[in-house]
Amino acid sequence: MSSPPRLLAFAGSLRQESFNKRLLRVLADAARTSGAEVTLLELREHPLPIYDGDIEAKGMPDQVRRLQALLADHDGLLISCPEYNGGVPALVKNTLDWISRPLEDGSSGMGLYRGKVAGICAASPGGLGGLRALIALRDLLAKLGLWVAPSQLAVASANDAFDSTGALADERQAKSIGRLASEVVGAARVLRDLRHDNT
C-alpha cells in the first residue's frame, strides 16, 4: 500500500475568527478521513511582504524559502478562500506568487505546483458564499499547473453555517465537503504516481 498523499492546507484569511479557517478545518478533517496526511498552515505565522522585485533581488525572504520547502514536501493544496470584491484576496495571490519564484538552485518555483492537486472552498456571510472568488481561484491555480478538483463548496451565510462542534450544520454541505475531499485525495494519489513516472 502506498504512503498517504500529503496535502498542505491554508485559509486565505488572517483573522482569528475567520469563517474560512473554520471551513478549512472541516475540509482537512474530511481529507484525513479519505486517507491523506494534512498539514495546516497558518499564514499569520508566515508573514510575507507584498511581492517586490527589489526585495527579491536583495535575497529571497526566509519565509518564502520555508513555504517553498513546505510545498515541495506535499502532493497538493487545500485552500479555503474568502471573496473580496468578487475576487481572490491579495493574501492568497501574494502567497502563491512568492512561492512561484525561483528556488535556491535556480529552478522555477512553478515546478512546485505543476502536476499537483488542489481542492478549493469558500465561506462568506453573504448569499453567494464566495462563489465568484472560487471561479477566479480555480483559474489562477490552473494557470500555475495544478489540477483543480471539479467539486468545490461555497458556504453562504457562514455566520450560521457551523454548529457548536465546528462541523457544517447543513447535511448537504457536509456531504459536499466529503465528496471534495475524496476527489482531492484520489487525484493526489494518481498524480503523485504520474509525477514520479515522469522524473
Ligand X SMILES: Cc1cc2nc3c(=O)[nH]c(=O)nc-3n(C[C@H](O)[C@H](O)[C@H](O)COP(=O)(O)O)c2cc1C
C-alpha cell at 49: 511582504
Nearest distance from C-beta of residue 10 to ligand X, angstroms? 11
- Taking alpha carbons only, the member of 136, 142, 98, 165 closest to residue 154 is 136
Does position 44 interact with ligand X (CB under 6 A)? The reply is no
Question: Considering beta carbons, is residue 19 or 147 the nearer one to ligand X?
Answer: 19
**Residue-wise burial string across 35-72, b where 16 or more C-beta atoms lie within 10 A, e elsewhere:** ebebeebebeebebeebeeeeeeeebbebbeebbebbe
Of 10-18, 66-74, 113-121, 188-196, the window that binds ligand X (rule: CB under 6 A) is: 10-18
**CA atoms of 135 and 163, how far apart (whole Å):** 27
Residue 97: phi and psi, rounded to 5, are -65, -50
DSSP class of residue 10? E
Nearest distance from C-beta of residue 167 to ligand X, angstroms? 17
Of 12-20, 39-47, 94-102, 191-199, the window that binds ligand X (rule: CB under 6 A) is: 12-20
Nearest distance from C-beta of residue 191 to ligand X, angstroms? 28
Residue 119 pairs with which residues in a beta bridge?
78
Residues 123-142 that bind ligand X (CB under 6 A): 124-126, 128, 130
Residues 84-123 that bind ligand X (CB under 6 A): 84-86
One character per residue 48-87, x = contact with ligand X (rule: CB under 6 A): ----------------------------------xxxxx-
Q: How many residues bind ligand X, per CB under 6 A?
A: 15
Q: Judging by DSSP bridges, how do beta strands 6-11 and 76-80 pair with one another?
A: parallel
Q: Are 70 and 41 in contact (CB under 8 A)?
A: yes
CA of residue 175 relative to chain centroid, distance:
19
Question: Considering beta carbons, is residue 43 or 187 the nearer one to ligand X?
Answer: 43
Nearest distance from C-beta of residue 124 to ligand X, angstroms? 3
Kindly list the residues in this chain that would bind ligand X in the complex (CB under 6 A).
13, 15, 18-20, 82-86, 124-126, 128, 130
